[in-house]
Amino acid sequence: MTATSRARELLTVAARAADAKQGEDLVALDVSGPLPLTDIFFLATGRNERNVQAIAGEIEEKMLEAGAKTLRREGRAEGRWILLDFGDIIAHVFHEEDRLYYSLERLWKDCPAIPIELPAAKAAE
């Protein structure tokens, strides 16, 4: 199986939201094969707890605007690893240290990466 077109649309929404709040190291994995409950894991990294919370907040806001309801939310208060479950896509927003420690990319290395396309940065004037 591969991720649905709706999941890919939501990935674009989540990636743009994370990018807007300076999310780093954006990665998307197609987990539709081994996981029947979701299609995509989206991973983003924040520089500190406040940045992690801001990234997660922006993702949640933009996903709601796109019609995706938050089914589950965990880790918001700590700001170290925030999980946002939207059904078709699960967003994981990590603090740098936690991203390295839990290394989800390594755990899910058999799942194909999905390219993330972001708008080109505006040229400095």
- Tell me the pLDDT tens digit for each residue of 12-59: 999 999 999 999 999 999 999 998 899 999 999 999 999 999 999 999
Mind listing the pLDDT tens digit for each residue in 58-76? 999 999 999 999 999 999 9
For 68-106, b/e burial (b = at least 16 CB within 10 A) is beeeeeebeeebbbbbbbbbbbbbbbbbbebbeeeebee
Which residue type does 98 have?
D
In the three-class reduction of DSSP (H, G, I as helix; E, B as strand; rest coil), residue 122 is classed as coil
Give the C-alpha separation, 118 to 113, whole Å: 16
What is the fold, at CATH topology level, of the domain defined by 5-107? Beta Polymerase; domain 2 (3.30.460)
pLDDT at 59: 98
pLDDT at 123: 45
pLDDT at 1: 65
* pTM strictly above 0.85: yes
